[in-house]
Structure 1
Amino acid sequence: MTGRRAGSALLTGGLLLTLLATGCGVRPSDVITGRSATTGPAAGVDIYLLSHGRLALVIRETKERSMVSPEKTLGMLAAGPDESERSQGLVSEVPAGLVPASPVKPNLDGSGVTVTMTGAVLPLTAAAADQIICTLADALAPTGQGDSFSPVTIAGPDGARPPRPCPIK
């Protein structure tokens, strides 16, 4: 009897361990594929698009080997997602053609930066403003003009939005 009890306890323990190991709450998912690996020196700029309404960092490849200006980076954002990005479900709420009207300038009081855009900025959605702010913050970091915590003021012919840092930094 003792041998049977020990065997039964061992079997029960093994089943319990199996149940615990398989029931850890991790759900199976499909394979998640990425882009092909870059070859040679990486050349790209960070822009923020939207995936299911949330900011998503995208590294947009460029042919330029030197640093791309913040103004040109915002121009890439205003062009919207490319075909590959759209096929991944990425979208943008930044109106096409909304680009800087002049170079990005640090505020005189040291409270961040201001970007003056070519079109109206007050009707921008919060997501569109965040796309601009986060894209600009990443573009400015290597220049020393700002960092991801610096507040960005978006101005246009219709006024200016309150300064705001990138919400995901």
Structure 2
Amino acid sequence: MSVRRALVRPLLTGGLLLTLLVAGCGVRPSGVISGRPAQSGASQGIRLYLLWRGQVAVVVRPDKVNQAPSPEVSLALLLAGPQEDERQQGFTSEVPAGLRAVRSAPPTGAVPGSPAAVAGGADGLTVTVTGPVRQLSTDAADQIICTVADAAAQAGQAEYFVPVTIVGSDGARPAVPCSIR
């Protein structure tokens, strides 16, 4: 029996030591990795594209009417900027303050029931705003394009990846689809 104990004890100790060494092999400590804030409120609602940590991200605002928002409504909310609770969560916008949708009689091919700020046609959607658009940052343009395209898709007026042209006082940006998936 004493020979058996003499053999078992070193084997168990060695096995435990080997297990500890292998379990820690290749694991390096890192800092805390955090994701974006969790969505709060209703899962369905008006989806706006804001910036979070330098990347375009979707924010869902509850919709009291519970129907698909028009591209006009979504655009107006985006142009108004992040709400206080969104700012506290770190959301920002690169859409210039003071940029507004142009509202006039709907042109031929306009999205039904909408002013001229968002018009639909064979080539996609056209968003018309006050102010220059060629100097918009890529993120600001993506915020506008994705917000309008998403709202039009929710309302059944266009496909999600429809090309969107942004027109302003200095001309138009080329038509591109939302690049956010």
With the length of structure 1 as denominator, give the TM-score of the two structures.
0.81
Whether contact under 8 Å (1:154, 1:160) holds in the other structure is yes
Q: Does 1:157 align with 2:169?
A: yes
AA matched with 1:93: E
Q: Does 1:23 align with 2:37?
A: no
AA matched with 1:50: L
Which residue matches 1:136? Answer: 148
Whether contact under 8 Å (1:98, 1:119) holds in the other structure is yes
Per the TM alignment, residue 166 of structure 1 is displaced from its structure 2 partner at its CA by 1.2
Q: Distance in 2 between matches of 1:154 and 1:116?
A: 6
Q: Distance in 1 between matches of 2:127 and 2:36?
A: 36
In structure 2, the CA distance between the partners of 1:31 and 1:81, relative to structure 1 (3 Å rule), is closer
Taking every aligned residue pair, what percent have the same amino acid on both sides?
A: 44
RMSD, matched Cα: 2.7
Gaps of 5+ in 2: 1-5, 103-115
TM-superposition CA deviations, 1:125-154 (whole Å, max 9, x none): 111101001111111112333223221111
Counterpart among 118, 126, 131 of residue 130 in structure 2: 118
Whether contact under 8 Å (1:43, 1:63) holds in the other structure is no
Which residue matches 1:47? Answer: 48
In structure 2, the CA distance between the partners of 1:112 and 1:48, relative to structure 1 (3 Å rule), is same
Larger radius of gyration: 2
AA matched with 1:153: T
Which residue matches 1:3? Answer: 8
SS, match of residue 152 in structure 2: helix
Which residue matches 2:79? Answer: 78
Comparing 94-103 with 117-126, which one deviates more in the overlay? 94-103
In structure 2, the CA distance between the partners of 1:64 and 1:122, relative to structure 1 (3 Å rule), is same
SS, match of residue 72 in structure 1: helix
Whether contact under 8 Å (2:119, 2:125) holds in the other structure is yes
Q: Distance in 2 between matches of 1:149 and 1:25?
A: 41
Per the TM alignment, residue 27 of structure 1 is displaced from its structure 2 partner at its CA by 5.2
Whether contact under 8 Å (1:153, 1:164) holds in the other structure is yes
How many residues are treated as equivalent by the alignment?
Answer: 163
Q: Distance in 1 between matches of 2:36 and 2:149?
A: 28
In structure 2, the CA distance between the partners of 1:33 and 1:142, relative to structure 1 (3 Å rule), is closer
Per the TM alignment, residue 19 of structure 1 is displaced from its structure 2 partner at its CA by 1.7
With the length of structure 2 as denominator, give the TM-score of the two structures.
0.76
